Amino acid sequence: MSDELIPAEYRTKKAELVASLFLTFVVIPAITVGGISAYGFMVWFLQLLNGPPGS
């Protein structure tokens, strides 16, 4: 199907839907996992330098 046969409004809505699904299921989970991993690495590294808590 040619792009000329699809209304511009439909293409815009479809692009917006694809973008929001991509953000919801790919970008936000990736940022969340990255942030949690960075925090875990920071805790591990500080414990490596300073020893475990309470010592």
**What confidence tens digit (pLDDT) does each residue in 4-51 have?**
777 778 778 899 999 999 999 999 999 999 999 999 999 999 999 999
Task: Choose between 42 and 2: higher pLDDT.
Answer: 42
Q: Is the pLDDT of residue 3 over 90?
A: no
Task: Choose between 1 and 2: higher pLDDT.
Answer: 2
State the pLDDT at residue 49.
95
The C-alpha atoms of residue 46 and residue 5 are separated, in whole angstroms, by 60
DSSP secondary structure string for all residues of 31-48: HHHHHHHHHHHHHHHHHH
Name the DSSP letter for residue 54. T
State the pLDDT at residue 5.
75
